């Protein structure tokens, strides 16, 4: 495969690969470290990462901050081979999270290399990392979103070090309208890539920078990676592809849900946070959306959430499922194609050779 280097603000991984952040608890320090060892950029999900801490239910903020330090240390502790001296570790934060600014500032203080941020436009992210060496990479889903974000960041005299363009086949929360996602009336990743590159060109010229585009959503095979890179993407983001690896931080039951899934089990839902999302149909999901599951305890995860108006508590059932119980299983569109447990090295070798 003919690959040009991916340069994110001077950070140059051996491979133009970003492992997508997957929460709750699916991509923590273990998976991020393993991907970095293979030459990519490992990403720790910053969503409710303190679920294993004893005081998580009573004080989720303190538990999450404590867990963040532990997971960053795990991801950074490994001695990286000479061919990948950077050991690049990113953290992914949802703009819609409660205490978003607190988490971002703590990640900067811990020396995280890159902040990746979506589920809303991270318009204030430049101010939160000001004065640091932390690179910032917003997630966008359209040329319109890219234009709004870049105009806003112009006020900070700062452009993104890269942008992640997530297409409609991505897993978890999606940056598309619910009806578009359900009807398939969205723009493809390829068309979105073309439009986004046109939008960012004037900003690149104005600031004298290059803004790499990392494309993701539905990429599963080497041919997918080669195709999107040939169309002008500077790198690729894959998340679901790494779930059925030994190094993935989720419980074996969670991984087996993918191995057992069929194509018809992948469905679009309206998440309790109000966004369309892609998940694997299971008994929990059928029960939650047919009759609802009352919220017994609020974990305060989202800035805007009324427990009385949602079908179930998303924090509880993302935490439960990643620990091997029943719950909400987010997936990319190709999650049903995962048919065995492998290793991160196996996946990277298959994708890049």
Residue 318 in tokens: 């993302």
The closest alpha carbon to 162, from 10, 339, 59, belongs to: 10
Residue 30 in tokens: 């273990």
Place of tokens 């991509």: 27
Q: In which band, very low, low, confident or very high, does the pLDDT at 82 lie, cut at 50, 70 and 90? A: very low
23, 46 contact by CB (below 8 A): yes
Sign of CA dihedral 136, 172, 46, 235: negative
Q: How far apart are CA 248 and CA 259, in angstroms?
A: 14
- Asked if residue 8 has pLDDT above 70, the reply is yes
More confident residue, 22 or 276: 22
pTM, rounded to two decimals: 0.94
Determine which of 30-39, 62-71, 167-176, 341-350 has the lowest per-residue pLDDT on average. 167-176
How far separated are the first and last CA of the chain, in Å rounded?
Answer: 8
pLDDT of residue 155: 95
User: Per residue in 259-309, pLDDT tens?
Assistant: 999 999 999 999 888 888 999 999 999 999 998 888 888 887 777 777 778
Contacts of 291 (CB under 8 A, 6+ apart): none
Determine which of 6-20, 71-85, 114-128 has the lowest per-residue pLDDT on average. 71-85
- Residue 332, SS3? coil
Q: How far apart are CA 215 and CA 109, in angstroms?
A: 28
User: Per residue in 88-124, pLDDT tens?
Assistant: 999 999 998 999 999 999 999 999 999 999 988 999 9
The closest alpha carbon to 166, from 105, 103, 221, 240, belongs to: 240
pLDDT of residue 38: 94
- Asked if residue 79 has pLDDT above 50, the reply is no
Torsion of CA 243, 230, 118, 271, to 10 degrees: -60
72, 112 contact by CB (below 8 A): yes
Q: Which CATH class is domain 17-250+340-352?
A: alpha beta
pLDDT average, residue stretch 192-215: 97
Give the HSE-up count for residue 21: Cα atoms under 13 Å, Cβ half-sphere. Answer: 26
Cβ of 198: how many Cβ atoms within 10 Å?
A: 12
Residue 259 in tokens: 């191995």
- Asked if residue 185 has pLDDT above 80, the reply is no
DSSP letter assigned to residue 303: S
Max CA pair span of the chain: 55
Q: How far apart are CA 141 and CA 144, in angstroms?
A: 8
- Please give the distance of CA 323 from its chain centroid, rounded to a whole number: 19
Helices (H) and strands (E) in the chain, counts: 12, 11
Q: In which band, very low, low, confident or very high, does the pLDDT at 86 lie, cut at 50, 70 and 90? A: low
Q: In what order do the strands lie in the sheet with 172-173?
A: 172-173, 276-280, 266-270
- Asked if residue 81 has pLDDT above 50, the reply is no
Determine which of 68-72, 182-186, 201-205, 222-226 has the lowest per-residue pLDDT on average. 182-186
Cβ of 151: how many Cβ atoms within 10 Å?
A: 11
Cβ of 70: how many Cβ atoms within 10 Å?
A: 15
DSSP letter assigned to residue 47: S
- Asked if residue 83 has pLDDT above 70, the reply is no
Residue 69 in tokens: 């330090």
Beta bridge mates, 34: none
User: Per residue in 339-351, pLDDT tens?
Assistant: 999 999 999 999 9
Q: Kindly list the domain boundaries of the chain, sorted by start residue.
A: 17-250+340-352, 253-322
Mean of the per-residue pLDDT values for the chain?
92
- Please give the distance of CA 188 from its chain centroid, rounded to a whole number: 19
Q: How far apart are CA 38 and CA 86, in angstroms?
A: 11
């Amino acid at each position: 495969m003919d690959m040009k280097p991916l340069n994110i603000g001077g950070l140059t991984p051996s491979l133009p690969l970003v492992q997508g952040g997957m929460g709750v608890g699916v991509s923590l320090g273990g998976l991020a470290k393993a991907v970095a060892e293979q030459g990519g950029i490992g990403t720790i999900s910053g969503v409710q990462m303190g679920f294993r801490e004893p005081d998580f239910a009573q004080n989720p903020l303190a538990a999450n901050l404590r867990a963040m330090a532990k997971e960053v240390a795990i991801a950074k502790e490994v001695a990286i081979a000479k061919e990948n001296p950077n050991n690049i570790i990113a953290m992914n934060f949802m703009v819609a999270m409660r205490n978003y600014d607190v988490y971002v500032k703590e990640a900067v203080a811990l020396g995280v290399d890159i902040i990746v941020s979506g589920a809303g436009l991270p318009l204030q992210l430049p101010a939160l990392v000001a004065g640091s060496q932390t690179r910032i990479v917003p997630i966008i889903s359209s040329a319109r979103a890219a234009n709004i974000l870049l105009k806003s960041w112009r006020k900070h005299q700062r452009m993104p070090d890269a942008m992640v363009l997530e297409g409609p086949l991505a897993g978890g929360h999606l940056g598309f309208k619910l009806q578009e996602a359900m009807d398939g009336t969205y723009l493809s990743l390829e068309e979105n890539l073309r439009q986004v590159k046109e939008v960012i060109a004037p900003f690149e010229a104005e600031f004298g920078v290059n803004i790499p585009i990392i494309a993701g959503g539905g990429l599963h095979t080497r041919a997918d990676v080669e195709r999107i890179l040939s169309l002008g993407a500077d790198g690729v983001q894959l998340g679901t592809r790494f779930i059925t690896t030994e190094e993935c931080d989720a419980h074996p039951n969670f991984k087996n849900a993918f191995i057992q899934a069929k194509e018809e089990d992948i469905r679009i839902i309206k998440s309790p946070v109000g966004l369309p999302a892609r998940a694997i149909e299971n008994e929990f999901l059928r029960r939650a959306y047919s009759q609802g599951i009352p919220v017994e305890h609020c974990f305060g995860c989202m800035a805007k959430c009324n427990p009385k108006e949602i079908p179930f508590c998303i924090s509880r059932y993302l935490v439960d499922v990643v620990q091997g119980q029943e719950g909400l299983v987010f997936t990319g569109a190709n999650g049903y194609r995962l048919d065995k447990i492998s290793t991160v090295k196996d996946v990277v070798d298959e994708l890049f050779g």
